[in-house]
Structure 1
Amino acid sequence: MKVREVMHKQADVINLNHTVREAAQMMARGDYGCLPVEDNDKMIGMITDRDIAVRVVAKGLDPNNTKVSDCMSQGINFCFEDDDLDSVGTQMSSKKIRRMPVINQQKRLVGMLSLGDIANKGRDQKLSHNILSHVSH
């Protein structure tokens, strides 16, 4: 099974210079838990709802003035839409990744793959259980 068969086909990206409020609004509109962060059309990290809660809200920072770059997680793992789902699932498990951007051969963002996608749409329940048990610890 290929990643494209189970991934969410909708995904957005946010620039590192946007505000945390703009990121949160994009997440709310798209019902996302995270957004890839880009700089000069290159993905450089991720911002998650947890990043916002822990690194902004809990510290009393103003989301209207705090930049995405101030609270995002640096670095990014991604996969290709035509990658084998088992292989990507194993990678997610070993790196403890819950969500992974999916790109096409032109290196354009085409979707997101989550643990839920693998568990709900994937055929291998053992794989989804293995990933979840590794990521949850």
Structure 2
Amino acid sequence: MKVSDKMTRNLRVASPDDTIQQAARSMAECDAGVLPVGQDDRLVGMVTDRDIAVRGVAEGKALDAKVRDVMTPDVKYCFEDEDLDQVSRRMGEQQVRRLPVMDRNKRLVGILSLGDVAMGEGPKPAGDALSGVSRPGGEHSQTGGPRTGPGA
């Protein structure tokens, strides 16, 4: 099965110049916890509700702070024609719950979430991804690295 068979196609895209309040409102309207961030027809980042809460609100940023100030600029992605099982394993290895999906011209065409992987594919691909994502720390954690100290 290919990624294109499971990905979500209808997306809202935030601009790096949008405010975090605008991004949060868009997330609420489409009932999503993540928005791809695009500029000049290119993917330049991802912003999550957690980014807004932890990198925005918790750090005292105002509602008019820009998405670029809280987004993750290093975006992992997959291609729509890739094998779903392989991408699921990569999601676990990279510890990401969602991946933007690109066509071979590197244009955003969708997003793949763990929920998309789990729907109808049985436990194997989703379990592989979830076991990796659930490990503490990782490159895309809010602190940017592995957890250390008490409770790590």
User: Aligned to 1:126, which of 119, 124, 127?
Assistant: 124
The alpha carbon displacement at 1:54 in A equals: 0.7
Establish whether residue 47 from structure 1 lines up as the match of residue 58 from structure 2: no
The alpha carbon displacement at 1:29 in A equals: 1.4
User: For the Cα contact (< 8 Å) 1:11–1:109, is it kept in 2?
Assistant: no
Q: Which moved more, 1:102-111 or 1:12-21?
A: 102-111
User: For the Cα contact (< 8 Å) 2:42–2:107, is it kept in 1?
Assistant: no
- Counting aligned pairs with the same residue, the percent is 46
User: For the Cα contact (< 8 Å) 2:42–2:108, is it kept in 1?
Assistant: no
Given residue 129 of structure 2, which amino acid in structure 1 is its aligned partner? I
Where 2:119 maps in the other structure, the secondary structure is helix
Q: Which moved more, 1:101-110 or 1:124-133?
A: 101-110
Correspondence for 1:10: 10
The alpha carbon displacement at 1:97 in A equals: 1.0
Correspondence for 1:72: 71
Cα-Cα RMSD: 1.4
Correspondence for 2:62: 62
The number of residues matched between the two structures is 135
Given residue 131 of structure 1, which amino acid in structure 2 is its aligned partner? A
Name stretches of at least 5 consecutive residues in structure 2 with no aligned partner: 136-152
Where 2:99 maps in the other structure, the secondary structure is strand
Q: Measure, in 2, the Cα distance between the counterparts of 1:41 and 1:7.
A: 20
Q: Which moved more, 1:104-113 or 1:92-101?
A: 104-113
Name stretches of at least 5 consecutive residues in structure 1 with no aligned partner: none
The alpha carbon displacement at 1:111 in A equals: 1.3
Task: Spell out, residue by residue over 1:94-118, the C-alpha distance to the aligned partner (whole angstroms, 9 max, x if none).
Answer: 1111101112234332211001111
Using the size of structure 2 for normalisation, the TM-score is 0.82
Correspondence for 2:101: 102
Given residue 101 of structure 1, which amino acid in structure 2 is its aligned partner? P
Using the size of structure 1 for normalisation, the TM-score is 0.90
